[in-house]
Structure 1
């Protein structure tokens, strides 16, 4: 084949390729899929419930709430039943020996002198007064939660009864969470106390700290108490939280 014919053939082929390419619609590049960040989860626990029927007002907050009820309090059983029927989670707020306490200061309080059998007896009696309890957290207990043997026995009892444990961390030296994990008891710790001080500025600071911590570690457990000031504060703050950034859940949804 002569060079002019070869060159013409090449031009013909190139023109056919170009015309075919022009005939095809342009391909759009699809940007890589980016999943929206998941909201930080917050479990709100209301401690010390049971002394007043007005405590049930916390159940009207439009979020999941875990209600920690004191056994032996006048309205323990009624409030546990009401909370359960309203779809909220019930927790036994179990009294435990605090630093400086030599003897039990309230009925049913666990102390370092208790045997395993006595711990089980007190636990079962408390659970009878707080029906529907799915877990346990410590009321006071700054001394007892530091005692390895007592916590080991308590976790054995909770394991047998298929209950979880929330370490309220009333002592920095607590071994409760450690013993729960060692005995296969689902557990988590308290991260923030909301209302150690009831002044508005203190509540604001604790709330802001909670939100920052929840975002940092993707979840947080906050304990509050059934004070009128706390209820008013929560009623004002909760509706302002962006649902795409924060989600309220029950304690059982955050367990290790």
Structure 2
């Protein structure tokens, strides 16, 4: 009786005990089979030279297509044809090329061979393709790094790296007032730089300071999104050194060689810029010797200069005429007072300036409020009868 009761109240114990016996017996052939399979796979890997591990592959051959028999266009002629033509301060400019090369690969037929064709196709309306940087023909080695230079065929960085502009692509007539906006201080904050690149229209030009990390990557991102880029060069303010723009600042008290060396250092921080814009520099832009040193070197290297217009005593226009450098000057600082109301008022004043002269350039800093208000304003600019253009459209060889 006790055995029956024990069995009744311990049914699971007996099931587990019997199950263990069956499992042990059933696993023997399974384990043997597993060992055989694993051994076979190992032998295949060791003995068969198959880098694809047995994956299905397809082999196809493509013939080399000879270039057309017609004489190719010389490299320098192709560059000049595709590059935008710098405009005068009246805003005039010649149309830039609007075609891209596309490679088309046609799958092979019965023969198993395919064909490769390269054709020119029109870009989508409003498309503006910027060339990759650095272009080997437009750089030279220095002790600081790669310096921009004029190519042997005469191509200038100011034209090669500029954002193409075609007046015919705009819905407005060629006589419509043109407005350029230059945002400075990019590269100092990764978050603000990313925000400016993403939110501002591609026609807005971005000036990067020669500081910070991963500058070339940020510049490449800006240019891949269509933004023309300039170098924001630190220059001496009146209250220097109490107010210090940063390392390698151009100073009116330095020798020509010292300033040129500092300029070269800044120019090697990244590639792909059309020219320089002043970062601070209210005192330096009044120095005839300092400006002549700067502009002579910029002209020698095929670069332009944009004065932000903040210094009333600036002599940049006068020295630009003497040296013949491509130059433009800002009409006003959009975010001198960084509030929504004052920025909106400054943008309205910029429109008035453009209506009177036919062109105008405004300057702003990479502040969240500035980015937000300019991006909002730019959406309605064409409906008001204006054309938003990159800074290079307003620069010209000053007479």
Correspondence 1:72 to 2:211: yes
Deviation at 1:244, TM superposition (A): 6.7
Gaps of 5+ in 2: 1-171
Counterpart among 177, 183, 189 of residue 52 in structure 1: 189
- Tell me the residue number matched to 1:88: 227
Counterpart among 158, 162, 167 of residue 307 in structure 2: 167
- Tell me the residue number matched to 1:227: 367
| Aligned Cα root-mean-square deviation (Å) | 1.9
**Helix, strand or coil at the partner of 1:133:** coil
Deviation at 1:58, TM superposition (A): 2.0
Deviation at 1:50, TM superposition (A): 1.0
Q: Provide, for residues 4-57 of structure 1, a one-character-per-residue CA deviation record: whole Å limited to 9, x for no partner.
A: xxxxxxxxxxxxxxxxxxxxxxxxxxxxxxx96722111111111111122132
Counterpart among 36, 43, 50 of residue 180 in structure 2: 43
TM-score normalised by the chain length of structure 1: 0.81
**Helix, strand or coil at the partner of 1:138:** strand
Distance 1:122 1:113 in 2: 13
**1:159 and 1:185 in contact (8 A); partners too:** yes
Counterpart among 265, 273, 293 of residue 125 in structure 1: 265
**Helix, strand or coil at the partner of 1:166:** strand
Q: Provide, for residues 200-239 of structure 1, a one-character-per-residue CA deviation record: whole Å limited to 9, x for no partner.
A: 2211210110111111111101111111111221232221
Query: CA 1:82–1:203 in 2, change beyond 3 Å: closer, same or farther?
Result: same
Query: CA 1:63–1:83 in 2, change beyond 3 Å: closer, same or farther?
Result: closer
**Helix, strand or coil at the partner of 2:290:** helix
Deviation at 1:75, TM superposition (A): 4.5
Q: Provide, for residues 57-101 of structure 1, a one-character-per-residue CA deviation record: whole Å limited to 9, x for no partner.
A: 222333412111100233533222211222221101000010021
Higher alpha-carbon deviation: 136-145 or 164-173: 164-173
Counterpart among 285, 301, 305 of residue 145 in structure 1: 285
**Helix, strand or coil at the partner of 1:213:** helix
**Helix, strand or coil at the partner of 2:335:** coil
**Helix, strand or coil at the partner of 2:258:** helix
- Tell me the residue number matched to 2:356: 216
Deviation at 1:103, TM superposition (A): 8.1
**Helix, strand or coil at the partner of 1:129:** coil
Distance 1:250 1:77 in 2: 20
**1:91 and 1:133 in contact (8 A); partners too:** yes
**Helix, strand or coil at the partner of 1:240:** coil
Distance 1:181 1:163 in 2: 15
- Tell me the residue number matched to 1:190: 330
**2:310 and 2:333 in contact (8 A); partners too:** no
Matches within 5 A, 1:4-19: none
- Tell me the residue number matched to 2:253: 113
Deviation at 1:184, TM superposition (A): 1.1
Distance 2:236 2:194 in 1: 27
Q: Which has the higher helix share?
A: 1
| Bigger Cα Rg | 2
**2:235 and 2:280 in contact (8 A); partners too:** yes
Gaps of 5+ in 1: 1-34
**Helix, strand or coil at the partner of 1:237:** helix
Query: CA 1:59–1:221 in 2, change beyond 3 Å: closer, same or farther?
Result: same
How many residues are aligned here? 222
